[in-house]
Amino acid sequence: MPRFSAWLRDGVGFDILLVGAALLFLVALAGAPLVYNVLMSFQQVDMFTLGSLIRPFVGFDNYVAVVRQPEFWLVTRNTLIFVFGSMSGQFVLGFALALFFAQNFPGASTIRGLFLVSWVMPGLVVGGIWSLILAGDYGVLNVILRSLGIIQSNIFWKSDPSFSIWAVIIANIWLGLAFNMLLLSVGLAAIPKDLYEAAELDGANAFQRFWTITLPMMRPTIGAVLSLGLIGTLQQFDLFPALTEGGPANTSNVAGFWSWQLSFQLYDFAKGATVSVMMFLLVLFASVIYVRSTRHEVRG
């Protein structure tokens, strides 16, 4: 026993205890549910069998049923539009702002920090505010766009089927832009300044310096930011109930929200689980990129 307590106090036992407690918790509350999710997607689950672990297995029936849902392809398409629209908006605007705030001027880091308030706000509140701004007939965005001459007549962002997904994308870009900018700023700050001076002496112009120094040096950061953007976008949920509830007619519905609707509004837990397993495969892809890019960063 004293040997055990010494092992715990001084040896590997201490480390194992610290990691073990956290991992055990995570396995119980994130790992096990994940496995359970996959299991459920192959079972027949309804309100009567909700309380039991052993349920009739139905093979790939749930998957077939989900793909046959009339809204399946629409939701898939929306998910892709949502992911690429949000990511490119957040990344391009975030990169531009990061480059701007990398200039040396008084207050640069303080003002840059203020941008992050969008990131710490509850998603539901962000959705509520944008719901007001994007309103069709009295929304302030339409007024601004009209006075700038960009649009001629009001756009009904939330209720027009061809714009509803963009309403959520706009709100999501606002929400995630600042975090993108911050991570990219960190990457920019890590580039040695003398590289730029040397390139300037050699006669490289600003664009050449960006192309040959900034971009290659930022590659690990960009990889991490893009994959985090993909992950964060797939995790986005709160904006949907606040803005469009997936409507009208599912034109702004994405996999994450659809899965929740199937489970908690239609009580079809098996289909909800099935959709989320499909979505998880997409996340898996993103996280492999993310882990690889952070590994380069840490070890590099």
Partner 1 sequence: MTRTYTPWFLLAIALGLAAIYLFPLYWMYITSIKSGSEIFANPPTFWPTNPNPAVFADVWARRAMPTYLWNSVVIAGGVTALTVVLGTGCAYVLARYRNGWIDAGLFCILMLQVLPASVMITPIFVGFNQVGLLNYPRTAVILAAAAKAMPFFVVLVRATFMSVPRELEEAALVDGNSRIGAFFSIVLPLARNGILVCAILTFMSAFGEYIYSKSIIQSPALQPASVGLSGFLGPNSTDWNAIMAYSAIYVTPILAAFVILQRRIVAGLTSGALK
Q: Identify residues 2-21 at the interface with partner 1 (CB under 8 A).
A: 9-11, 14-15, 17-19, 21
- Site residues for partner 1, 25-54, by CB under 8 A, read 25-26, 29-34, 36-37, 40, 45, 50-53
User: In 3D, which of 169, 159, 180, 295 has the Cα closest to residue 229?
Assistant: 180
Query: Is 88 or 294 the residue whose CB approaches partner 1 more closely?
Result: 294
- Site residues for partner 1, 53-72, by CB under 8 A, read 53
- Site residues for partner 1, 203-262, by CB under 8 A, read 231, 234-235, 237-238, 241-245, 247-248, 255-257, 259-260
Query: Is 85 or 234 the residue whose CB approaches partner 1 more closely?
Result: 234
What is the DSSP-derived secondary structure letter of residue 191?
A: S
- Site residues for partner 1, 71-90, by CB under 8 A, read none
- Cα 6 to the chain's mean position, in Å? 45
What is the DSSP-derived secondary structure letter of residue 60?
A: T
Q: Are 195 and 202 in contact (CB under 8 A)?
A: no
Q: How far is the CB of 202 from partner 1 (least distance, A)?
A: 22
Q: How far is the CB of 196 from partner 1 (least distance, A)?
A: 16
| N- to C-terminal Cα separation, the chain | 43
Cβ atoms within 10 Å of 104's Cβ, excluding its own:
6
What gap in Å lies between CA 166 and CA 172, rounded to an integer?
9
Examine residue 105 and tell whether it contacts partner 1 (CB under 8 A): yes
Cβ atoms within 10 Å of 101's Cβ, excluding its own:
21
**What is the pattern of x (binds partner 1, CB under 8 A) and - over residues 279-298?**
xx--xx-xx--xx--xx---
The count of residues interacting with partner 1 (CB under 8 A) is 109
